Amino acid sequence: MRAGLHSRRPVLNAPMPHGLSRKIRIAFILQVVMASLAIVIAFFVVGTLFKYSFIRSSLQEEARHYWELRESAAAQPPPNTFSLRAYLVEPGGSAEALPAYLRGLAPGFHELKSEGQMVWVERKPQGTLYVAFLREQANRLAWWFAVLPAMLALFAIYGATWLTYKSSKRLVSPVAWLARQVSRWDPRRPDIAALAPDRLPADMRGEARQLAGALHALGERVEAQLTRERNFTRDASHELRTPLTVIRVASDMALADETLEPRLARSLRRIQRAGRDMEAVVDAFLILAREPDVVPQSEWFDVCEVVHEEAVKARMLLMLCIMKFGMLPPAKDPLNPTAAEKQATEEVLTKYQAIFDTH
């Protein structure tokens, strides 16, 4: 077994795996991912609604406007533009003039993907009107009026999120820097100079600077307290050495007297043993009062030898007590002794204890 009063402790210099900056970064990443999913879903929903709601309503409006013009002028031809074409089949007329993909369509809205057409069929007493809109043009309109604004909104969210993250990181960076500095402190000698007001980063302001000042003041108080404690322990140990030396020398001179009674000699040896124990305690105080970097003295010793020595000493004292005071008085019933028997045993044990205390 090795005896010593100091042990080196590891200094935690590793970065914090779950720092505040990392948590903020994860929060913003999750926010961006959720916003992206929401806007992608919005792309699909808005595009679908635009094609199947806005285009359908436009075709219905075109058909209604044409019927109004036809009421005022019966010879009004159906509309025919680049993206919109209409066909009219009058009552009793033949549908042969219609394109093949329009024949047989029931009244209502139809999307003909193979033909690239979106058709509205409306039947009235004046005839059946077929209003066809180019699907490619509908997709182009959906892009310009639905998808593109949604993408611009997504990029605006990305930009706002990035700026907010940078701003939050700038606000948190002083606290993260302060946490790293404190984590590098050696518990035996903290580097409080790193938190001095003149050595703080220029961007550290407000509450972070106040916290750094409070930690700096705390470190100064702890360092001053450790210094005072070390000085007191050293001074007290030196002051105790003088009376202990006097006790040891005086006891040695008294034991040198050949006419000394055995009882007094045993008491003097007991005083010497207590004095040696006190000197060991004083030496321990001096070791504690040293600077932390000074390695204390230590030695290997056998615990079994120490225990054996104390056991032999206790056995010899017990034999002395038996020879001087006799054995413990026996009880008639060991499991249920009387009050007198207990008192007699306690009196003998008290005499035994007095011998153990003085030897």
164 with 308, same domain: the answer is no
Q: What is the pLDDT of residues 255-300, one digit of tens each?
A: 777 787 888 888 888 888 888 888 888 777 777 666 555 555 566 7
Whether pLDDT at 235 is above 60:
yes
Give the residue from 172, 194, 226 where a domain finishes. Answer: 172
> Mean pLDDT, the chain, as a whole number?
77
Domain count across the chain: 2
Q: What is the pLDDT of residues 55-87, one digit of tens each?
A: 788 888 888 888 888 888 877 788 888 778 888
This model's pTM is above 0.75: no
Q: Higher confidence at residue 150 or residue 215?
A: 215
Whether pLDDT at 251 is above 60:
yes
CA 161 to each of CA 24, 241, 243: distance values in angstroms, whole numbers, following the listed order: 12, 71, 75
Domain-embedded: residue 60: yes
Q: Which residues contact 85 (CB under 8 A, 6 or more apart)?
A: 78, 79, 131, 132
Domain-embedded: residue 37: yes
- Pick from 226, 220, 172: nearest CA to 194: 220
CA angle 331, 337, 343 (to 5 degrees): 85
What's the token pair of residue 198? 């003149």
Mean pLDDT confidence for 243-261? 80
State the first-to-last Cα distance of the chain, in angstroms, to the nearest integer. Answer: 28
Max alpha carbon distance in the chain (Å)? 157
Domain-embedded: residue 321: yes
Domain-embedded: residue 4: no
Domain-embedded: residue 282: no
CA 319 to each of CA 51, 222, 314, 333: distance values in angstroms, whole numbers, following the listed order: 111, 54, 9, 25
CA 101 to each of CA 36, 82, 93, 111, 115: distance values in angstroms, whole numbers, following the listed order: 40, 19, 18, 11, 8
Q: Contact, 16 vs 179, CB < 8 A?
A: yes
Domain-embedded: residue 334: yes
Give the residue from 117, 148, 172 where a domain finishes. Answer: 172
Q: What is the pLDDT of residues 104-144, one digit of tens each?
A: 888 888 888 788 788 889 888 888 889 888 777 766 766 67
Domain-embedded: residue 25: yes
Domain that holds residue 137: 20-172
Domain-embedded: residue 57: yes
Give the residue from 172, 205, 229 where a domain finishes. Answer: 172
Query: If you search the block for the tokens 């024949």, which residue do you land on?
Result: 103
Strand partners, 121: 108, 130
What's the token pair of residue 281? 């305690």
